[in-house]
């Protein structure tokens, strides 16, 4: 689904958001609406990143997806060092994660490194090729987010970030 198609699907939601603010929705309806909006934005970001990766000459040949980019980012930034940690952090099952790591390894973007102190565990490491492609991938993500935030004042963006951080702190 393209960003334009997602925007079309979101248009009725915008009408609701911009409607008369004098009537407060019920708490349960607000939560459902908010969850739906957050989910739609997440899907728009994923679809947009996938499209941008295909449009980028340097990245298109790698055929990297937004999910694979998230793996690279988590490993490169030190948020996760193993497939097990990635599964917990990204909420993927082990089979799906293993297949994505296999694909990234085949593309030469990540490698499994056996740990010296154990025979069974391996750490994940981003290769030089993965490190070289990463800034391009981040640039694609930044472009997608910038398009989604187009026309929204910076103060509102900062406020939205604060609200989302507070929500995550409540988890």
The pLDDT of residue 24: 57
CA distance 86 to 78: 11
The pLDDT of residue 141: 97
The pLDDT of residue 114: 86
* Ranges of residues in the chain whose predicted pLDDT is under 50: 1, 3, 5-22
CA distance 74 to 70: 6
121 in Cβ contact with 81 (< 8 Å): no
pTM for this one?
A: 0.77
CA distance 88 to 71: 12
Query: What is the tally of structural domains in the chain?
Result: 1
The pLDDT of residue 155: 97
Q: Residue 63 sits in which domain range?
A: 3-169
The pLDDT of residue 128: 97
Write phi, then psi, for 110 (nearest 5 degrees).
-145, 155
The pLDDT of residue 139: 96
The pLDDT of residue 118: 73
CA distance 142 to 150: 12
| CATH number for the domain that contains residue 134 | 1.10.10.10
Q: Is 63 helix (H, G, I), strand (E, B) or coil?
A: coil
């Amino acid at each position: 689904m393209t960003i334009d198609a997602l925007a079309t699907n979101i248009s009725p939601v915008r009408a609701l958001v911009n409607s008369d603010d004098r009537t407060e929705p019920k708490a349960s309806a607000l939560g459902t609406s908010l969850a739906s909006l957050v989910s739609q934005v997440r899907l728009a970001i994923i679809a947009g990143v996938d499209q941008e990766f295909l449009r980028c000459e340097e990245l298109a040949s790698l055929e990297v997806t937004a999910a694979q980019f998230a793996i690279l980012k988590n490993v490169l930034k030190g948020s996760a060092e193993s497939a097990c940690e990635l599964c917990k952090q990204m909420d993927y099952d082990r089979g799906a994660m293993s297949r994505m790591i296999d694909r990234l390894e085949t593309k030469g973007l990540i490698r499994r490194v056996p740990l010296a102190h154990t025979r069974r565990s391996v750490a994940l490491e981003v290769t030089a090729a993965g490190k070289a492609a990463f800034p391009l991938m981040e640039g694609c993500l930044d472009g997608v987010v910038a398009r989604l935030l187009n026309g929204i004042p910076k103060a509102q963006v900062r406020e939205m970030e604060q609200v989302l951080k507070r929500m995550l702190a409540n988890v």
